[in-house]
């Protein structure tokens, strides 16, 4: 819908603002929480809570329908990431069964100004995106796992987020939607 | 464009938001002499007009006040029973205020949760597989338009029967819900929406629709 997309364009903000805000959040969490594993978990949880709300925003603004297969889902998340993060990741590395794929980010605004010191090597800085994907899909009755496999902050050439389809939450599908 | 109300029902079937818009007000006050020529009865904790429609007093209206004193259930504030007061010839001439019964919050919640199974039954009754639930429910005085999002939230608009383009309004309400309710960090999902910004923006849209039609939102 052209009407919705024009409205969305008016609300763009500088990506550095997002980078810095997110950076200060993570820095504060590293300071406050003793174990980096717990920071990773919390980031995932924050992402999840954002995802379950953001999905409605995405659906309202794009008026897209229900996904019929995982390829469809991947496309939609790809466009959602473009909407909210400002970069378009590639969808790649499909598993043979077609139930697993990766989003590969060449550039990632979240880590634009970031470098990790030696003692933060186990921090999964972009975990919030994994959580957001999981939360958003859960709201449309898809149970997935998502995790970071490659991280530019750890010296990899790309950031890669893996998404694995677990099952469809059949009993949670609203009436008249099956 | 006349819109009577907006309702939002959560995924689990609870009413999380309702807004009354432009409900025609009909209150009639009239002085009666003995004997009363309108038949009243007590039903659902209200004194309602059972028979004898006239002068803007319709069957189904409730007694709001007697001689300016408000009636609660069937009693006056000084514990006198409404029917005893009306039967006593000494109290005449008497002034009675009638009006349409107002729905209480509890009744609204009850009705909203009634719609939920109806919606589900409709999709199961369907002769075709994979049918949606009720999208439009039509009556002679109103039309109820329902839009269910992919996540199971139902947006409902009650409007005049001949109103077109309500589906666009429903989408717009969904956008407002996504923007002002869900992006509010202090709003928890599936709880009643008590967000001022949401209400303000919803009202703005409804007023726009009312003034300049559906195409401008």
pLDDT confidence band for B73 (50 / 70 / 90): confident
How far apart CA A44 and CA A40 sit, in angstroms, is 6
pLDDT confidence band for A3 (50 / 70 / 90): very low
Chain A residues inside the 8 Å CB shell of B124: 175
How far apart CA B199 and CA B6 sit, in angstroms, is 11
Cis peptide before B35 (omega within 30 of 0): yes
Say what the pLDDT of residue B89 is: 86
User: Is the predicted pLDDT of residue B13 greater than 70, yes or no?
Assistant: yes
How far apart CA B123 and CA A175 sit, in angstroms, is 7
Q: A47-56, A74-83, B102-111: which range is least confident on average?
A: B102-111
Say what the pLDDT of residue A6 is: 44
Task: Give the pLDDT mean for A141-170.
Answer: 92
Q: A13-17, B132-136, B142-146: which range is least confident on average?
A: A13-17
Higher local confidence (pLDDT), B34 or A55: A55
Task: Give the pLDDT mean for A146-173.
Answer: 89
Minimal Cβ distance to B189: which of A52, A172, A175: A52
pLDDT confidence band for A86 (50 / 70 / 90): confident
How does B185-194 read in b/e, with b if 16+ C-beta sit within 10 Å?
eebebeebbe
**Closest listed residue to residue A86, CA positions, set A161, A4, A12:** A12
How far apart CA B202 and CA B183 sit, in angstroms, is 15
Is B148 within 8 Å of A177 when comparing Cβ atoms?
yes
Say what the pLDDT of residue B18 is: 93
Calculate how close chain A gets to B162, using CA atoms only, in Å: 25
pLDDT confidence band for B124 (50 / 70 / 90): confident
How does A126-135 read in b/e, with b if 16+ C-beta sit within 10 Å?
bbbbbbbbbb
Predicted confidence (pLDDT) per residue in B162-206, tens digit: 988 899 999 999 999 999 999 888 898 889 999 999 999 999 999
User: Is the predicted pLDDT of residue B99 greater than 70, yes or no?
Assistant: yes
User: Is the predicted pLDDT of residue B155 greater than 80, yes or no?
Assistant: yes
Say what the pLDDT of residue B72 is: 85
pLDDT above 70 covers a percentage of chain A that reads 91
Calculate how close chain A gets to B179, using CA atoms only, in Å: 7
| CA A164 to the chain's CA centroid | 13
User: Is the predicted pLDDT of residue A161 greater than 50, yes or no?
Assistant: yes
Minimal Cβ distance to B132: which of A4, A60, A176: A176
Q: Give Dmax over CA atoms of chain A in angstroms.
A: 53
Chain A residues inside the 8 Å CB shell of B175: 4, 60-61
Say what the pLDDT of residue B80 is: 86
User: Is the predicted pLDDT of residue B98 greater than 50, yes or no?
Assistant: yes
**Cα-Cα end-to-end distance for chain A:** 25
DSSP state of B90: G
The A-side interface with B (CB below 8 A) comprises 4, 52-57, 59-61, 63, 65-66, 139-140, 172-178
Q: At what angle do helices A127-139 and A70-85 cross, to 10 degrees?
A: 130
Task: Give the pLDDT mean for A153-172.
Answer: 88
Task: Give the pLDDT mean for A108-124.
Answer: 89
pLDDT above 90 covers a percentage of chain A that reads 62
The top-scoring range by mean pLDDT among A147-151, B42-46, B56-60, B123-127 is: A147-151
Say what the pLDDT of residue A2 is: 38
Task: Give the pLDDT mean for B22-45.
Answer: 82
Higher local confidence (pLDDT), B101 or A82: A82
Calculate how close chain A gets to B67, using CA atoms only, in Å: 51
In Å, how far are B3, B115, B122, B157, B158 from B7, measured between CA atoms?
A: 12, 11, 19, 6, 8
Chain A residues inside the 8 Å CB shell of B183: 53, 57
Chain A residues inside the 8 Å CB shell of B152: 172-174, 177
In a 13 Å sphere around the CA of B147, the CA atoms on its Cβ side amount to 20
Calculate how close chain A gets to B4, using CA atoms only, in Å: 23
ipTM: 0.85
Calculate how close chain B gets to A162, using CA atoms only, in Å: 24
Is A140 within 8 Å of B183 when comparing Cβ atoms?
no
Predicted confidence (pLDDT) per residue in A169-178, tens digit: 877 677 766 5
SS (H, E, C) chain A: CHHHHHHHHCCCCCHHHHHHHHHHHHHHHHHHCCCHHHHHHHHHHHHHHHHHHHHHHHHHHHCCCCCCCHHHHHHHHHHHHHHHHCCCCEEECCCCCCCEEEEEECCCHHHCCCCCCHHHCCCCCCHHHHHHHHHHHHHCCEEEEEEEEECHHHCCCCEEEEEEEEEECHHHCCCCCC
Predicted confidence (pLDDT) per residue in A5-47, tens digit: 445 455 678 888 989 999 999 999 999 998 999 999 999 999 9
Is A175 within 8 Å of B151 when comparing Cβ atoms?
no
Is A176 within 8 Å of B153 when comparing Cβ atoms?
no
pLDDT above 70 covers a percentage of chain B that reads 98
* pTM, two decimal places: 0.85
How far apart CA A94 and CA A88 sit, in angstroms, is 17
Three-state secondary-structure class, residue B118:
helix
Chain A residues inside the 8 Å CB shell of B189: 52-53
Say what the pLDDT of residue B24 is: 64
User: Is the predicted pLDDT of residue A93 greater than 60, yes or no?
Assistant: yes
């Amino acid at each position: 819908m052209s009407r919705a997309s024009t409205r969305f364009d008016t609300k763009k903000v500088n990506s550095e603002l997002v980078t810095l805000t997110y950076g200060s959040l993570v820095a504060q969490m590293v300071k406050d929480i003793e174990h980096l594993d717990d920071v990773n978990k919390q980031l995932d949880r924050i992402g999840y809570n954002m995802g379950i709300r953001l999905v409605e925003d995405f659906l309202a603004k794009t008026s897209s329908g229900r996904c019929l297969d995982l390829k469809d889902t991947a496309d939609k998340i790809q466009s959602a990431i473009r909407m909210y993060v400002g970069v378009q990741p590639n969808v790649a590395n499909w598993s043979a069964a077609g139930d697993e794929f990766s989003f590969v980010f060449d550039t990632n605004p979240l880590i634009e100004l970031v470098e990790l010191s030696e003692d933060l090597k186990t921090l999964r800085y972009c975990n919030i995106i994994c959580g957001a994907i999981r939360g958003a899909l859960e709201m449309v009755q898809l149970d997935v796992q998502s995790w970071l496999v490659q991280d530019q902050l750890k010296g990899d050439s790309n950031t890669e987020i893996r998404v694995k389809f677990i099952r469809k939450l059949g009993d949670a599908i609203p009436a008249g939607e099956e | 464009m006349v819109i009577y109300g907006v309702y939002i029902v959560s995924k689990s079937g609870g009413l999380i938001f309702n807004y009354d818009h432009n409900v025609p007000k009909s209150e009639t006050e009239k002085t009666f002499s003995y004997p009363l020529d309108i038949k009243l009865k007590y039903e659902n904790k209200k004194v309602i007009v059972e028979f004898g429609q006239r002068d803007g007093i319709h069957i189904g209206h409730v007694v709001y006040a007697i001689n300016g004193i408000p009636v609660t259930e069937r009693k006056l504030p000084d514990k006198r029973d409404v029917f005893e007061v009306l039967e006593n010839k000494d109290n005449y001439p008497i002034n009675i205020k009638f009006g349409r019964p107002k729905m209480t919050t509890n009744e609204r919640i009850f009705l909203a949760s009634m719609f939920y199974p109806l919606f589900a039954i409709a999709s199961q009754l369907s002769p075709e597989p994979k049918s949606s639930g009720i999208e439009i429910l039509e009556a002679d005085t109103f039309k109820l338009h329902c839009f269910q999002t992919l996540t199971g939230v139902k947006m409902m608009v009650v409007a005049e029967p001949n109103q077109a383009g309500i589906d666009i309004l429903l989408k717009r309400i969904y956008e407002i819900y996504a923007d002002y309710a869900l992006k509010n960090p202090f709003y928890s999902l599936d709880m009643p929406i008590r967000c001022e910004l949401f209400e303000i923006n919803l009202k703005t849209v409804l007023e726009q629709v009312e003034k300049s039609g559906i195409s401008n939102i």
